[in-house]
A and B are shown apart, each in its own frame.
Chain A
Amino acid sequence: MADIPLAQGMRLPHVEIEITQAMIDRYAAISGDFNPVHVDPDRAAASPFGSTIAHGCIPMEPLFQALARAMGRPLLPFGTRVSLRYRAPARPGDRIRVEGAVADRKDDAWQVPFACLNQSGQTVIDGTCLVPATDGQGAGPA
């Protein structure tokens, strides 16, 4: 098993995505989630959100990509655990970036607190990743 190349204090690289309605529409087709609040601007305008909002997984994308880049690999290691809370909706036109740094190594996992922020600095999602310290592919949760 190989060590995962993270170290305490390492910051996640800059990854940013721009959310568009076209992106949301395409994601709806992939995910099967055609909730009008995502794909129907007229109905979404009449909702408490006042506009369409992105599916929850879309503003998570910078986190996945930044973690993978930090480790120099295309995929997250087997057994990576992500705990997160949705703090605010992401909307078409938003630019979402991730900020985070490796905090500690505990129980053979790197703890990486993170926040996905919009262009105003507002937190859209925050949480913690637990990344196995060694590549245990095939030996994690059954």
Chain B
Amino acid sequence: MTVNPLTTYEGAVLGREVCKGVIHVTQSDIDDFCALFGYDDPAFRPDAPGGAVAPTSMGLTYGLRLGWEQQVFPPGVIRMGDENVHGHPVHAGDVLTTVLTIADRFEKKGRKFLSYEQVTRNQDGQMVCSITFAAILP
């Protein structure tokens, strides 16, 4: 798989949709995530009143997943920091759609930076997670 030219420093177009991805969240996904990190609140279980929700950080993980699946980030890119906003909870059965854009492009001390923005919404259009992170390009 080759890197999308819209995500290179030279080819990036600020604000233009680079790619979009869809994830179907299952109870099994939630169970796996909870087991991995030791979440044991009843709210994450399938018999929770109103249905299970996913831990907040799972929404973050799924928000980032599009970038890895579609190889958006050039090899050797170094993620410097994040600005994340957490919105509506993720439920088992949700269909999450993430859209990735390039939010900013700049040079500093001879290094090239891109700022990636990934916004994830559920099937009702509600914002689940917004992730903006700056990265040094190789």
Instruction: Give A contacts to B, CB under 8 Å.
Output: 17, 23, 26-27, 30-35, 56-57, 60-61, 64-65, 68, 74-76, 78-86, 127, 137-138, 140-142
Contacts and interface: CB of A to CB of B under 8 A. Distances in A.
A75 B56 contact: yes
A-B complex: 9 closest residue pairs judged by Cβ atoms: A85-B81, A33-B68, A74-B43, A74-B41, A32-B68, A64-B57, A32-B65, A76-B56, A32-B69
A78 B59 CA distance: 12
Contacts of A65: 37-39
A92 B43 CA distance: 30
Nearest to A56: B79
A80 B88 contact: no
Contact of B87 (A57, A127, A141): A141
Q: How large is the interface on B (under 10, 10 to 19, 20 to 34, 35 or more residues)?
A: 20 to 34
Nearest to B54: A75
Contacts of B84: 81-84
Contacts of A75: 43, 53, 55-56, 89
B3 interface: no
A61 B87 CA distance: 18
B85 A80 contact: yes
A86 B69 CA distance: 22
Given A30-B33, A57-B57, A74-B55, A141 B80 contact: no
B7 to A, nearest CB: 15
Given A57-B60, A84-B81, A140-B87, A26 B55 contact: no
B43 A26 contact: no
B18 interface: no
B55 A64 contact: yes
A141 B81 contact: no
A44 to B, nearest CB: 13
B124 to A, nearest CB: 11
A31 B69 CA distance: 9
B61 interface: yes
A30 B32 contact: yes
A30 B36 contact: yes
